[in-house]
Amino acid sequence: MEKHLDSVPDHEVSREEITSVMTALEPDQLIFAKEHHHCPRRQLTATEMILFWALRIYLVFMVGVVVYQIWTGVR
Amino acid sequence: MKKRNTASESGGETAFRSVTLGDPESNSQPPPPDRVVITHEDIDRAHDREQVSATRARRGFRPRLRLFWLLIGPGILVMLGENDGPSMLSYAATGARFGVGFFVPFVVLTFLMACVVQEMTVRLGAATHRGHAELIFDRFGPFWGWFSMIDLMVGNFLTLVTEFIAIRAGLGFFGVRPAVAVLGALLVLSVALMTHRYWTWERIILGAATFNLVFVPVALLAHPHWHEVAHSLLTWKPLPGGLTQETVLILLANIGATVTPWMLFFQQSAIADKGLTTHDIRMGRVDTALGAALATVAALATMLATAPLFLHHMSAANFEAAEFAQALQPFVGHWGAALFALGIFEAGMVAAITISTSSAYAFGEVARRPHSLNLPFKQGKAFYLVLLLEAAAAGGLVLIPGIPLVYIVLLVNVIAVLAMPPALLFLYMLVNDREIMGDLVSPLWANVLALGVVIILIAAGLLFGLSVIAPNALAVIGAK
């Protein structure tokens, strides 16, 4: 079965276009590079994890406050 | 399997040949390292970059001006895009409730905060060429990535609903029926996408965004007391009436009118889509600062335009856009009122386009689908469908009779402020990540400012929580 790259042009690429792309764009700007090379995952430190969770809990709590305000407002 | 032209570089020379490709979306069989697939998107972006390089190589004032013209866009769009329907209504309500005073310098401060935050996305986008959602998923993993996406998508959808409320209300002043207003806005949004070129799309939306400044002539028609405006800017009068539930809500609404999560996602993705590189960071900063300055002028003009309502003791507590325009008519005349309504429509329209685009970028980055405004519809189907469907759903919701629109407007800016600290933590960590930023990591002064913004946002959120849960406690903190 034939497989397609979604972002591939529907016309043949000319030499001029290829030269233009290779000179004007940085290597990691190419869609091909973006699709095949991803930034490696980093390990979070304990402090970072605590910060992430603290802000997540803050957000959930504050959304609860907003819901409470709407509920009391409607009543 | 499909054959197509590719280029490969070896020994400093570019060689061209035709090769057989596998499925690029599968990483199971990585392509040979010396081969590069050229896409439609790459060609369009390269064309834009060639113009930038050619202009940069020339000297003189005119080439500099042209370079500025070529590189501006994401910063102005994000700042004027954030001057959206609920934001302009918040400024209008502030002017009508408090007149000229504490909130004039406060709005300037919030835009300075927005500058600090958005400058980080400029550096991040130019250094990595990646969108914000993609970087969060790659660096922090899907667990935290999905949290961030849920925050963005919920916030964006609610905000989009309010944009359509603004569109409906703004056009309502001219007697346009709600269904016609919503369908017309969806049509404009679709037409803007039909260019299939980031550059053309950006210029169209930039042109539309400058109409945000229609609030300036309305302010002039209201004959503000310039001496009082200058005095309040320089002296920063105290919060009128002290801390009350109402003032805290207005405070939060004004912060939420300038600093929101979608701005981070939009500007970084737009910078990657535009193809900006590290050489363009300086101009990216100018673009952001100029956008902030224009947005500040429009915001202050809106407050000054509605200040006569405060001076004449007219209650505007439950006003919507059209009612503001009608109430202003005795002070700014019919044309002034019409410009005000037009400004509200424009604010909603531009923001509907930029916010739905930010959702589509984020979706494409996370789902690993093509995501660019340079894509033809066929190749960027998922990207365009997400954009259009989200806008259509938000527009449809506004047409449901009896839906509490005022509550939704109230909610949106508050939720934006509450969702900002977690979003800023991701940004702060990414922009200080030497592995992806190299020498472009944030300097100390930028980190101090960013932490200051986070502290202000958390404090504002907690103050809001306190005002809801224990309103009497506000009296202890600072009520007169």
Are the beta carbons of A58 and B458 separated by less than 8 Å? yes
Q: Which residues of chain B, if any, have pLDDT below 70?
A: 1-36, 314-322, 402-408, 410, 477-480
CB neighbour burial string for B253-289, b if at least 16 within 10 angstroms, e if fewer:
bbbbbbbbbbbbbbbbbbbbbbbbbbebbebbbebbb
Distance CA B264, CA B445 (A): 20
B13 DSSP β-pair partners? B10
Using a CB-CB cut-off of 8 Å, the residues of chain B touching A42 are: 139-140, 433, 435
Burial of B314 (0-12, 13-18, 19+ CB in 10 A): middle
Total-model pTM? 0.86
Q: Going edge to edge, which strands form the sheet with B13-20?
A: B13-20, B3-10, B36-37
Confidence (pLDDT) at A39: 86
Q: Which of B7, B25, B422 sits opposite A59 (nearest CB)?
A: B422
Are the beta carbons of B40 and A42 separated by less than 8 Å? no
Phi, psi of B94 (to 5 degrees): -65, -50
B4 DSSP β-pair partners? B19
CA distance B40 to chain A (A): 4
Distance CA B263, CA B115 (A): 11
Q: Check CB contact of B24 with chain A, cutoff 8 Å.
A: yes
Q: Would you write out chain A's pLDDT as a tens digit for each of its 75 residues?
A: 333 444 444 556 778 888 888 888 888 888 888 888 888 899 999 999 999 999 999 999 998 988 888 788 766
Residues of A numbered 11-50 whose beta carbons fall under 8 angstroms of chain B's beta carbons: which are they? 12-13, 15, 17-26, 28-36, 38-42, 44, 48
Alpha helices in A1-75 (DSSP H): 15-24, 31-36, 46-74
Nearest CA in chain A to B382: A6
Using a CB-CB cut-off of 8 Å, the residues of chain B touching A40 are: 138-139, 435
Using a CB-CB cut-off of 8 Å, the residues of chain A touching B147 are: 56
Angle at B84 between CA B97 and CA B243, to 5 degrees: 35
Residues of B numbered 364-403 whose beta carbons fall under 8 angstroms of chain A's beta carbons: which are they? 368-370, 372, 375-376, 378-380
Confidence (pLDDT) at B182: 93
Phi, psi of B478 (to 5 degrees): -175, 10
Q: Check CB contact of B144 with chain A, cutoff 8 Å.
A: yes
At position B465, the amino acid (one-letter code) is G
B151 Cα distance to chain centroid:
15
3-state secondary structure chain B: CCEEEEEEEECCEEEEEEEECCCCCCCCCCCCCCCEECCHHHHHHHHHHHHHHHHHHCCCHHHHHHHHHHHCCHHHHHHHHHCCHHHHHHHHHHHHHHCCCCHHHHHHHHHHHHHHHHHHHHHHHHHHCCCHHHHHHHHHHHHHHHHHHHHHHHHHHHHHHHHHHHHHHHHHCCCCCHHHHHHHHHHHHHHHHCCCCHHHHHHHHHHHHHHHHHHHHHHHHCCCCHHHHHHHHHHCCCCCCCCCHHHHHHHHHHHHCCCCHHHHHHHHHHHHHHCCCHHHHHHHHHHHHHHHHHHHHHHHHHHHHHHHHHHCCCCCCCCCHHHHHHHHHHHHHHHHHHHHHHHHHHHHHHHHHHHHHHHHHHHHHHCCCCCCCCCCCCCCHHHHHHHHHHHHHHHHHHCCCCCCHHHHHHHHHHHHHHHHHHHHHHHHHHHCCHHHHHHHCCCHHHHHHHHHHHHHHHHHHHHHHHHHHCCCHHHHHCCC
Mean pLDDT score across all residues of chain A: 81
Q: Check CB contact of B143 with chain A, cutoff 8 Å.
A: no
State pLDDT tens for residues B349-407: 999 999 999 999 888 888 888 888 888 888 888 889 988 999 999 998 888 876 666 66
| Residue of A1, A2, A5, A16 for testing the chain B interface, max B β-carbons within 10 Å | A5
As given in the structure block, the two tokens for residue B98 are 């408090």
State pLDDT tens for residues B168-219: 888 988 989 999 999 999 999 888 888 888 888 899 999 999 999 999 999 9
As given in the structure block, the two tokens for residue B159 are 């905000």
Nearest CA in chain B to A61: B465
Contact at 8 Å (CB) between B41 and A8?
A: no
Confidence (pLDDT) at B341: 92
Confidence (pLDDT) at B14: 34
Number of A:B CB contacts under 8 A? 184
Distance CA B467, CA B244 (A): 7
Using a CB-CB cut-off of 8 Å, the residues of chain B touching A30 are: 36-39, 42
State pLDDT tens for residues B220-236: 998 888 888 888 888 88
Confidence (pLDDT) at B191: 87
Q: Check CB contact of B433 with chain A, cutoff 8 Å.
A: yes
Give this complex's ipTM: 0.83
Contact at 8 Å (CB) between B99 and B310?
A: yes
